[in-house]
């Protein structure tokens, strides 16, 4: 009855021209607060976190960003769909503008100003992303900053900071969760902060990807429809133990990912982070410093693809290695990530034969838009031993008793299999990545 009464009121108001405009605008705002048109598929791009030195050192420079934007185009990354160029916890001055109170860039490292830099990135046909934090300060430890002072957070400035980003032309905002104990002793609530800032972002009328960084609040269970993506696990560093931990956290989470709202398992490190002294503050040319093996980078990328996590490269794409080209630019693999069914993959089960220890021989899968095809991953989580992992086709569902198998990384067909895919050796920390097609 209340709903019918509301409709009657709307009909009366719509008879008046002025009220027609007000009601229409209200409807538009209410829709855009939930879905601004971004995030139908997971994002692809780059983030500054591990390029100019080791991860978590997190220093960035205008010259780096311009060079990365150029490289996104020249390497072919842009053509493959990597369009976001994102700054992390590194770009701002330790003081707000004394006249306006606005966040401002570090003028030594960003001498042209943020608006000019954003315009340059846009001129390359790319999108620009930026970082801020929800509390009183940013997350980087004060000892990493000049003078031991931290960058101010956005608490108390949510409207102002969002509007500043819009004035610069920002396309992506990452809102981190740190320093959220307020001066009066109270503690910020992410259940309030993220929806509140989401409404501010969408009220600007600019399409902005809004990403949350707080894996403690179980945001995957309530972040939709306020966010395009939300962090799921610990920070991802360029070390295998961390990668393996995050892969385990992926299992059982696929139901929370959907178009316009994605599980984010943090950056990918394909090729290795930047080398250099943690204490060095001046810009210098960094080389790759791989923390994982080639096998582990293939595994990292494969599982991130399968679960539809955003793919944000945290390594130096200005210095693309053969490995990076082989992994990051594989069109067929990226097509599985960007498949228009937009359904995240998950762990289907375990193989327990061939002396494989419990939980180490894993089978993962992902449905595709073409229901006659399927993406399947065999993953060996063991540290030392190669195992043959068999995949029973009944794990996929009915109609898969005969299948043709194509190896995605070896880039060749393996033939036809009945009832199970057998005899596939998987090295420690490695994967075999298959695209299946229903046989006859």
Q: Is the peptide bond before 351 cis (omega within 30 degrees of 0)?
A: no
Q: Is 215 one of the catalytic residues?
A: no
Which entry of 58, 88, 89, 176 is annotated as an active-site residue? 176
| β-sheet bridge partners, residue 268 | 313
- Active-site residue (options: 70, 119, 235, 407): 235
CB 402 within 8 A of CB 361: no
Q: How far apart are CA 28 and CA 203, in angstroms?
A: 10
Q: What is the DSSP letter of 137?
A: B
> By three-state DSSP, how is residue 332 classified?
helix
- Beta-carbon count within 10 A of 239 CB: 15
**HSE on the CB side for 89, CA within 13 Å?**
24
Contact between 373 and 120 under an 8 Å Cβ cutoff? The reply is no
* The pairing of beta strand 84-86 with beta strand 127-133: parallel
Render 211-232 in DSSP notation, one character per residue.
Answer: EEE-TTTTGGGT-TTT-SEEE-
d(CA 279, CA 281): 6
Q: How far is CA 419 from CA 126, 129, 255, 404, 413, in A?
A: 46, 47, 27, 11, 18
Contact at 8 Å (CB) between 45 and 129?
Answer: yes
Number of Cα atoms under 13 Å in the Cβ half of residue 338? 12
E-assigned strand segments in 185-261: 209-213, 229-231
CB of 274 closer than 8 Å to CB of 286: yes
The CA distance from 80 to 77, in Å, is 5
Identify the helix (H) or strand (E) that includes residue 375.
strand 373-380
Q: Could you give phi then psi for residue 359, rounded to 5 degrees?
A: 85, -5
Q: Which two tokens stand for residue 37?
A: 């048109």
Catalytic site includes residue 176 = yes
At 366, list the tokens: 């992902």
> Would you say 299 and 430 are in contact if contact means Cβ atoms under 8 Å apart?
yes
Active site (catalytic) residues = 176, 235
């Amino acid at each position: 009855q209340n709903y019918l009464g509301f409709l009657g009121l709307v009909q009366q108001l719509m008879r008046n021209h002025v009220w027609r405009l007000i009601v229409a605008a209200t409807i538009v705002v209410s829709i855009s607060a939930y879905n601004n048109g971004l995030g139908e598929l997971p994002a692809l791009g780059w983030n500054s976190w591990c390029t100019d030195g080791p991860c978590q050192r997190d220093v960035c420079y205008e010259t780096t960003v311009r060079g990365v934007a150029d490289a996104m185009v020249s390497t072919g990354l842009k053509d493959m769909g990597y369009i976001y160029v994102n700054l992390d916890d590194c770009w701002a001055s330790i003081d707000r503008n004394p006249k306006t109170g606005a966040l401002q860039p570090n003028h030594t490292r960003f001498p042209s100003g943020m608006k000019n830099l954003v315009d340059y990135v846009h001129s390359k046909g790319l999108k620009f992303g930026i970082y801020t934090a929800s509390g009183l300060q940013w997350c980087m430890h004060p000892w990493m900053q000049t003078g031991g002072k931290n960058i101010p957070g956005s608490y108390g400035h949510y409207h102002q900071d969002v509007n500043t980003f819009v004035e610069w032309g920002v396309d992506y905002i990452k809102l981190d969760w740190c320093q959220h104990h307020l001066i009066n002793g109270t503690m910020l609530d992410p259940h309030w902060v993220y929806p509140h800032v989401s409404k501010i972002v969408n009220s600007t009328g600019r399409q902005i990807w809004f990403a949350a960084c707080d894996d403690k609040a179980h945001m995957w269970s309530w972040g939709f429809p306020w966010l395009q993506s939300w962090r799921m696990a610990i920070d991802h560093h360029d070390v295998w133990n961390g990668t393996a931990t995050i892969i385990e956290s992926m299992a059982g989470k696929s139901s929370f990912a959907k178009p316009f709202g994605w599980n984010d398992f943090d950056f990918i490190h394909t090729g290795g982070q930047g080398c250099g002294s943690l204490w060095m503050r001046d810009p210098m040319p960094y080389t790759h410093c791989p923390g994982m093996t080639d096998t582990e980078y293939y595994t990292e990328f494969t599982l991130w693809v399968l679960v539809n996590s955003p793919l944000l490269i945290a390594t130096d794409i200005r210095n693309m290695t053969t490995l990076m080209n082989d992994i990051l630019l594989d069109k067929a693999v990226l097509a599985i990530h960007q498949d228009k069914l937009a359904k995240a993959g998950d762990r289907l089960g375990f193989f327990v034969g061939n002396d494989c220890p419990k939980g180490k021989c894993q089978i993962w899968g992902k449905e595709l838009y073409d229901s006659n095809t399927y993406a399947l991953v065999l993953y060996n989580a063991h540290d030392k031993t190669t195992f043959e992992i068999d995949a029973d086709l009944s794990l996929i569902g009915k109609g898969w008793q005969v299948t043709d198998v194509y190896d995605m990384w070896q880039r060749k067909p393996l033939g036809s299999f009945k009832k199970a895919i057998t005899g596939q050796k998987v090295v420690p920390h490695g994967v075999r990545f298959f695209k299946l097609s229903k046989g006859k």
